[in-house]
Structure 1
Amino acid sequence: MSVPQPPEPIPGARLLFSLDPAVSHLNHGSFGAVPIGVQRAQQRLRDEMESNPLRFFTQGLVDRIAHTRRHLATFLGADPEGTALVGNTTTGVAVVLQSLGLRPGDEILSTDHEYGAVTLSIQRECRRTGAESRVAAIPLAATDAEIVDAVRAALRPGRTRLLVVDQLTSATARLFPVAAIVGVAREHGVPVLVDAAHVPGMLSATVASVGADFWVGNLHKWGYAPRGTAALVVAPQWRDRIEPLVVSWEQEAGFPARLEWQATLDYTSWLAAPAGLFTLRSLGVDRVRAHNAALAAYAQRVVGDALGVAPARLPDPGGPEVAMRIIPLPRGLATTIEAARELQQRIAERLAAEVAVMSWNGEGWLRLCGQVYNSPDEYERLAVRLPPLLAQR
């Protein structure tokens, strides 16, 4: 089987970012990268804020946030009146969990692909309320139909108060058939929270097409927004029940304003987020998506070959737009979270390459991302230098 060809670079895209050129930044999925133009837009907003803080916070800021929310919701294909801006996906998850009114005997169902911080949030809410957390195991190579069947089998109508499922998993870079999962859960009367942390900007699927009760995704990863920008979308029947983690002066305004207004929060990241979408549109949304997915596929194959991984053992992400891929590491490496973090740091220090190293189900995995500022030679260089490093156990 031939190695997939890397995509043609998008001219000038690398120059839009202020990333250190001495480092290969191959892990866009963790914290993203903010284009220079977006950084400057946010700085202008900060300058405005600091020139007269009282005027900035008291004269029209709520309306400016609402205008920004409508802009971002339209891009996501979501109802602007059912969308609230929050700091990140895990914040949105925490808001939903504490708004459910869980009691002893209730349960929250998630999968073993769930992001670690979300799992911790579920466990904390269960400890606080006496509810139970259950996890459905989904094999990495499961087909869409098998994923749906596994979720169906794990649901317990009458007890399962919430199903939490990733649209695109973080640790395993796997696209889940969330619309079908939502349909199955609805048949059993179970509301669904979709963790879409990596979706905005990367995938073309709209929020409306998913149909979940709750959907939350970051715009500061693949949407080029400043960090601390995410959207929580809530179905109409749940909006009156959504409460902020901290009460502030817009509490009586209802959802979404009561969730967004957090007094002296730095709102400049939200207000500058449309500049990120402008950058994405300027490059061409479809063009960026196709480039990044093709580059990630090339990276997976080149590095996988260097590590001696047969093409058949390279996990398929489950969709053509996914711009993250994982590669199994040699047996015995990164089998715990601590070991994965240590190896990731060692790769960064010795190879000048920022990657993600994951520990999932007792095995170590290397996750690589494709982004417009990356070039094929960065992955080729990693492929040459990584095997000797891994051999130094």
Structure 2
Amino acid sequence: MDIDDFALDPSFAHLNHGSFGAAPRHVLKRQDELRREMERDPDSFFATVLDRIAKARHEIAAFLGSDPEGLAFVTNVTEGVAVALNSVPLAPGDEILIGDHIYGAVEIAARRTAARTGAKVVQVTLPGRADGEWTGEQAAETFLGAVTPRTKLAVFDHITSSTARLLPVRRLVDGFRALGVVTIVDAAHAPGMVDVDVSELGADFWTGNLHKWAFAPRPSGVLAVAPQWRDRVEPVIVSFFQRDGFPRSVEFQGTRDYTPWLAAPHALAFATPEVRVRNAALVARGQRILAEIAGLVPWRSDPELSMRVLRLPPGIAETTEQAEALSADIFRQLGCHTGIKPWPGAGLLRLSAQTYNHDSHYTHLATGLRTLLKR
């Protein structure tokens, strides 16, 4: 697939797939057909939509290695995390364990849950904070070493967002379970980027996006729930089918737009192992190009991922305002979309690679960025 297979503007270099994703034209065509069907006969569409959602869910479950009865569609990981947090009983003095690479919205949700329940958020700092030089085992030891008798819940990433690192999910889930700690895994970037077997991972709650690396229309995500929690799931928004329990209690919300979920199975044909291998190799070359031409410092990376990170020079993009300004300058002057993230003591540039990207995109960014940063 190339840029012509997407609805993207070909005059820009889209190097930020990890933020919002992009669905192929073929998938968008299927979604448009579903929307036209809905508008032609809303009564018939909504009368049958639950059965059609269930069919789509079974196809997505097979792709993710999940029990279809333990999987629910959600709009995105933010919703999935919110449902999970809403379902775990917490009391004053309980601790919620999070890491310092956590996605911002998930941290906010954890802290709001703590404020509502009287629990306390404990944030652990992974080693190598300035350069990403930590291994999966070091990350596991840091997380598990922070558990106390008050730790009730651990929220951690499958793949970190700002820093593009793969965490040892199975090691963490097993370790936390042995210590009696409930697990919520933010797997926003996992579906379609890495091989996933949700049942084998065994997390209490695992939630991922389909519209990032699995080529589905926005917004579409899933929430997988372990058997012991399914009867205790509390949706954030209560619907008519609350009485049916999980997953319908989470999925059905009246006249919401269900077409992204119904079209999601049509996207799976594009999320192949060959695409993942190609993207991982391309973004590795992109990282080297930015390092060699623009002089940026590569962070440690995981070879199977389609995202890589480089550190910007000192004093650049170290705050949210600076990062947003640099991102706007890069787009305005170079015609490139990138992921610029503030990080303590550094600004980070996150690169993505998708089938519509080529080496020339990274060379163009690197050459222009070298000049832009000198100013």
Q: TM-score range by the shorter chain?
A: over 0.9
CA distance, structure 2, for counterparts of residue 317 and residue 265 of structure 1: 39
Cα distance in 1 between the residues matched to 2:231 and 2:321: 41
Structure 2 distance, partners of 1:209, 1:360, is 33
Q: 2:100 aligns with which of 94, 99, 112?
A: 112
Which deviations, in whole Å up to 9, do the C-alpha atoms of 1:72-110 show, x marking residues without a partner? Answer: 011001111100000000100001111112221111101
The offset of 1:342, in angstroms, is: 1.5
Secondary structure of the structure 1 residue equivalent to 2:266: helix
2:349 to 360, 366, 369: 366
Query: Any conservation in 2 of the 1:68–1:271 contact (CA below 8 Å)?
Result: yes
Q: 1:69 aligns with which of 39, 45, 57?
A: 57
State the TM-score, normalized to the length of structure 2: 0.97
Identity of aligned residues (%): 48
Letter in 2 for 1:16: D
User: How many angstroms apart in 2 are the aligned matches of 1:237 and 1:37?
Assistant: 39
Equivalent positions of 1:237-276 (< 5 A) are 237-276=228-267
1:161 counterpart SS class: strand
> How far did residue 47 of structure 1 move?
0.2
The whole-number CA distance in structure 2 between the counterparts of 1:83 and 1:93 is 14
Q: Is the aligned partner of 1:388 residue 2:371?
A: yes
2:336 to 353, 356, 360: 353
Tell me the residue number matched to 1:8: none
* SS of match in other structure, 1:250: helix
Note if 1:172 corresponds to 2:163: yes
Alignment of 1:216-255 (within 5 A): 216-255=207-246
State whether structure 2 residue 324 is matched by structure 1 residue 341.
yes
**C-alpha separation between the residues in 2 aligned to 1:315 and 1:327?**
5
Q: Report the Cα distance in structure 1 between the residues aligned to 2:17 and 2:107, rounded to whole angstroms.
A: 22
- What residue number does 2:21 align with? 32
- Residue 52 (structure 1) aligns with: 41
The answer to whether structure 1 residue 294 and structure 2 residue 281 are counterparts is yes
81-90 or 48-57: bigger deviation: 48-57
SS across alignment from 1:247: coil
User: Which residue number corresponds to residue 196 of structure 2?
Assistant: 205
Contact 1:219 1:229 in 2 (8 A): yes
Give a deviation string over 1:248-291, Cα, whole Å, max 9, x none: 111111110111001111000100001111233xxxx1110110
- Is residue 136–residue 166 contact of structure 2 (8 Å, CA) maintained in 1? no
Partner of 2:2: 13
Given the alignment of the two structures, is residue 151 of structure 1 paired with residue 151 of structure 2, yes or no? no
- Aligned residue pairs, count: 371
Deviates more, 1:240-249 or 1:20-29: 240-249
User: What is the rounded CA distance, in whole Å, between the counterparts of 1:278 and 1:147 in structure 2?
Assistant: 34
CA shift, 1:315, in A, is 1.8
Q: What is the rounded CA distance, in whole Å, between the counterparts of 1:361 and 1:263 in structure 2?
A: 43
Q: Which moves more between the two structures, 35-44 or 95-104? A: 95-104
Which stretch has the larger CA shift, 138-147 or 221-230? Answer: 138-147
Aligned equivalents of 1:53 and 1:215: distance in 2? Answer: 33
Distance 2:287 2:200 in 1: 29
Q: Which string of whole-angstrom CA distances, capped at 9 and with x for unpartnered residues, describes residues 15-67 of structure 1?
A: 21121111000000000011101111000000000011122112x11110011
Superposition deviation, residue 361 in structure 1: 2.2
Q: What is the deviation of 1:148?
A: 1.2
Match of 2:185 in 1: 194
Give, in whole Å, the separation in 1 of the partners of 2:238 and 2:178: 35
Equivalent pair of 2:72/2:247 in contact (CA under 8 Å) = yes
Do the aligned residues in 1 keep the contact of 2:208 with 2:223 (CA within 8 Å)?
A: yes
Work out the CA distance in 2 between the residues paired with 1:380 and 1:208: 41
Amino acid aligned to 1:102? L
Q: CA RMSD in A?
A: 1.1
Alpha-carbon deviation of 1:236? 0.4
CA distance in structure 2 between the partners assigned to 1:302 and 1:279 by the alignment: 27
**Counterpart contact for 2:287–2:309, Cα < 8 Å:** yes
Pairwise CA distance, 1:209: 2.6
Q: Is the 8 A contact 2:295 2:370 kept in 1?
A: no
Structure 2: runs of 5 or more not aligned: none
Counterpart-to-counterpart distance in 2, 1:138 and 1:300: 23
The answer for unaligned runs of 5 or more in structure 1 is: 1-11
| Deviation per residue, 1:103-133 (Å, 9 max, x gap) | 2111110100000010111111111111111
Q: Matched residues in 2 for 1:266 and 1:25: separation?
A: 27
CA contact (8 A) 2:208 2:222 kept: yes
